[in-house]
């Protein structure tokens, strides 16, 4: 990490580790438990070198199931607990993410998305895990999902993920894709305040004997309590941590004024870089178009869309999947028209392709 504000050349995967170090500062301990998988392996490689130098622990696990369970335990000890994975590895972590949510362990999971399904395209990008990040475990569970579009933002959102997980005691997933994970950009490592541990939080190994279980349990004792009333109270408590604080969690970027636009392009991740270029080109042709880039994918910015839907317009959702976020947009747009611009994986749209879709939306 640089202390003299010099710019350093990092990949997105490198920036994940730097974001963790910013969150830990000199006061907190990082526990990284992971299993290498393309295209996320470089996160583990850098973590294995950097994190021990900062007083943290790097643990090479036998698989992704062990990785997510290890950090679920580490989160209860007051550590900044993190893992990184991709593709099939993310699927294997699904049960553990639900367990972490159930025991209210603050974990951070970085998913560097690749083309799928199954083994798919390990070295090529995709955005096909967006719905899995939200709904990929059995039962109802809270989750916060952040989606960076640059190396610098990867660092900042990893740092933010640590803070959000500690504040709300929920899993936070940072959804890179292969392009963001492997692209190099010069950035400055910022000096950020250490993510503080809540002094009132009971920590295992610090004078407290705590019981945690994946079973339905009493909120005060955390002991199993298997009945419909306990289930109702527990699950609503878990979900409300995100639901009631959604407006404080949700972040997005607008480019040009969406309230004045006839066409709004909704996007996220690396795809947004092409979208912004396409919007600039469209503006030069005097087309009233704007961009909304999701930074927080979940919770979803439904209030923003419902406010925009007071005026009839076209929403073009550009993403590298078959329309996962488009489906969510359609839930809240009743007056306007929602269209998808989709590729299945391996590359993002070119600005020219997006411009053609924008022009097509105007001529519809």
Q: How far is it, in rounded angstroms, from Cα 47 to Cα 51?
A: 5
Domains of the chain: 7-248 (3.40.50.970), 252-362 (3.40.50.920)
Q: Tell me the pLDDT tens digit for each residue of 205-241.
A: 877 778 999 999 999 999 999 999 999 999 999 999 9
Q: Where are the alpha helices (DSSP H) in the chain?
A: 12-24, 41-53, 64-75, 88-92, 94-102, 130-135, 151-168, 178-182, 228-243, 246-249, 271-284, 302-308, 324-332, 351-362
Q: Look at residue 69 in the predicted model and tell me its pLDDT.
A: 98
Q: Is 307 helix (H, G, I), strand (E, B) or coil?
A: helix
Q: How far is it, in rounded angstroms, from Cα 39 to Cα 348?
A: 16
Q: Look at residue 14 in the predicted model and tell me its pLDDT.
A: 98
Q: Look at residue 1 in the predicted model and tell me its pLDDT.
A: 47
Q: How far is it, in rounded angstroms, from Cα 212 to Cα 29?
A: 22
Q: Look at residue 4 in the predicted model and tell me its pLDDT.
A: 61
Q: Look at residue 232 in the predicted model and tell me its pLDDT.
A: 98
Q: What are the CA-CA distances from residue 94 to residues 80, 89, 91, 158, 296 (Å)?
A: 20, 9, 5, 20, 20
Q: Look at residue 196 in the predicted model and tell me its pLDDT.
A: 96
Cβ–Cβ < 8 Å for 124, 114: yes
Q: How far is it, in rounded angstroms, from Cα 165 to Cα 171?
A: 6
Q: How far is it, in rounded angstroms, from Cα 21 to Cα 14?
A: 11
Given a cut of 70, the residues of the chain with pLDDT beneath it are 1-5
Cβ–Cβ < 8 Å for 317, 268: no
Q: Look at residue 207 in the predicted model and tell me its pLDDT.
A: 76
């Amino acid at each position: 990490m640089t202390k003299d504000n010099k710019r350093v050349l990092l990949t997105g995967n490198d920036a994940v580790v730097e974001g963790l170090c910013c969150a830990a500062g000199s006061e907190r301990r990082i526990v990284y438990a992971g299993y290498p998988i393309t295209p996320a392996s470089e996160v583990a490689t850098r973590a294995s070198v950097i994190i021990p130098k900062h007083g943290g622990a790097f643990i090479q696990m036998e698989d992704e199931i062990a990785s997510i369970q290890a950090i679920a335990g580490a989160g209860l000890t007051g550590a900044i607990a993190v893992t990184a994975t991709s593709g099939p590895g993310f699927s294997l972590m699904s049960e553990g993410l639900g367990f972490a949510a159930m025991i209210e362990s603050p974990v951070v999971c970085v998913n560097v998305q690749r083309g799928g399904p199954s083994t798919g395209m390990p070295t090529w990008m995709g955005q096909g895990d967006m719905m899995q990040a939200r709904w990929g475990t059995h039962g109802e569970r809270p989750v916060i999902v952040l989606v960076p579009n640059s190396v610098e933002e990867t660092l900042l959102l990893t740092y933010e993920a640590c803070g959000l997980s500690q504040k709300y005691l929920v899993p936070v997933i940072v959804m890179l894709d292969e392009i963001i994970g492997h692209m190099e950009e010069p950035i400055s490592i910022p000096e950020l305040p250490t993510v503080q541990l809540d002094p009132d939080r009971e920590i295992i190994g610090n004078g407290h004997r705590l019981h945690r279980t994946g079973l339905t349990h009493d909120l005060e004792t955390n002991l199993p309590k298997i009945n419909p009333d306990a289930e109702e109270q527990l699950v609503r408590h878990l979900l409300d941590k995100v639901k009631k604080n959604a407006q404080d969690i949700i972040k997005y970027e607008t480019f040009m004024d969406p309230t004045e636009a006839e066409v709004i392009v909704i996007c996220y991740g690396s795809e947004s870089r092409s979208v912004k270029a396409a919007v600039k080109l469209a503006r030069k042709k005097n087309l009233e178009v704007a961009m909304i880039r999701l930074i927080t994918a979940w919770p979803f910015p439904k209030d923003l869309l419902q406010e925009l839907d007071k005026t009839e317009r076209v929403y073009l959702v550009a993403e590298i999947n078959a329309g996962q976020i488009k489906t969510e947009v359609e839930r809240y747009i009743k007056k306007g028209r929602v269209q998808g611009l989709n590729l299945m994986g391996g590359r993002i749209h070119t600005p020219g392709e997006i411009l053609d879709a924008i022009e097509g939306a105007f001529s519809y």
